[in-house]
Amino acid sequence: MSRSDHKKNAKQDKTAPIVKRVVKGKSAHHGGSWKIAYADFVTAMMAFFLLMWLLGSTTQGELEGIADYFKNPLRVSIGGGSGSGDSSSVIKGGGRDLTRRESQVKKGEIEEQKRTINLKAADADVEKTEISQLRTLKNRIERAFETSPSLREYRKQMLLDITSEGLRIQLVDAQNRPMFASGSAQLLPHMREILQELGKPLNEMPNHISLSGHTDAKPYSAGERSYSNWELSADRANASRRQLVASGLAEGKVLRVVGLSSAALFDKTDPLNPVNRRISIIVLTRKAEEAMLKDTVPLPPPPTEPPTATAPAAPATPAQRTGEIEKPKPG
């Protein structure tokens, strides 16, 4: 190569552009840790707002119960109260609450228990008032018979006591002083006088009454195939009812009239004792009335105005009932 060519090449090398290539290194990878941190933040915010919602929708009493539970959980578990298993919790689930403690009581159960207690208390008050009124009636009748010269001698034949059904007034036969004619339902004069005295005070009570007739155990000659002690006891009870109505007892006050023959003896040791022949008048309590009307149509309230006094109709005789002439029952 000549000297001129060498200079020419050197000149070209000085004017040629120089390109520098920089090789960049790869940056480090950050990973997904930021996603976990963000999820924790969102979860914390949800828990915070849920807590604020629960606190805002919980009553003061429930808050105090929750506070008591955390202060002393053993006492709440044993004695009961608002806790994790209480149905008063804001979030209610379906089915049985598996976290419920045996000592805890549901809110609905508490209200039902309170309602039951209130009803029992009301019934107890009504029953107490009824018993007080019946005792007042008992004292009034006793004073009337003790102060009346014409009725004082019959006081021993009238037995008064308070039973589970109400005030029971029993008019019993004495040895020489029966209430009815022998073997019939015909009222004797002193029995009419006694029932006349009882008609007015019984009518002033709002309670219904029940009448039952009783005889001793001495049967009729024909036994129970014809007119018997069953018919006689029922006839005597109805004769007493008619006399009470004629003496001022309002119609509709009598709830039941039955004849029990000698099935419920007063003196079980002596079935022929005259005291077994008696009329039982019961001024019924409300519970006794409901028990009698349980399987029947409820009756309207008994009237308080006495009807016009009329003479009671004469009861039918055994001969009229059976077509046979029966021998009257002795005693």
Task: Give the integer Cα–Cα distance in Å for 321 and 226.
Answer: 9
Question: Which tokens hold the place of 159?
Answer: 């037995």
* pLDDT at 317 > cutoff 60: no
| Angle (nearest 5°) at CA 265 between 317 and 227 | 20
Strand order in the sheet with 209-214: 158-162, 166-172, 278-284, 209-214, 254-259
Strand intervals (E) in 125-165 = 158-162
Domain definitions of the chain by residue range: 119-322
Residue that the structure tokens 């009748």 belong to: 141
Q: What is the mean pLDDT of residues 64-68?
A: 77
| Angle (nearest 5°) at CA 195 between 190 and 198 | 130
**If you classify domain 119-322 with CATH, what class do you get?**
alpha beta
C-alpha torsion angle, residues 196, 198, 199, 201 (rounded to 10):
140
Task: Give the integer Cα–Cα distance in Å for 168 and 279.
Answer: 10
| Angle (nearest 5°) at CA 257 between 301 and 188 | 115
88-105: per-residue pLDDT in tens? 444 444 444 545 555 555
> Is the pTM value of this prediction over 0.85?
no
User: How confident is the model at residue 321, as a pLDDT?
Assistant: 37
Q: What is the mean pLDDT of residues 148-176?
A: 89
* pLDDT at 278 > cutoff 60: yes
Give the number of other CB atoms < 10 A from CB of residue 240: 29
Pairing of strands 254-259, 278-284: unpaired
Instruction: Please give the radius of gyration of the chain, using alpha carbons only, rounded to the nearest integer.
Output: 48
Non-local CB neighbours of 88 within 8 Å, separated by 6+ positions: 62, 82, 106, 107
- Highest-confidence range of 32-41, 103-112, 115-124, by mean pLDDT? 32-41
Strand intervals (E) in 229-286 = 254-259, 278-284
| Angle (nearest 5°) at CA 239 between 316 and 211 | 135
User: How confident is the model at residue 10, as a pLDDT?
Assistant: 57
The rounded mean pLDDT for the chain is 76
* pLDDT at 112 > cutoff 80: no
Q: What is the mean pLDDT of residues 72-82?
A: 59
pLDDT band at 293 (very low <50, low <70, confident <90, very high): confident
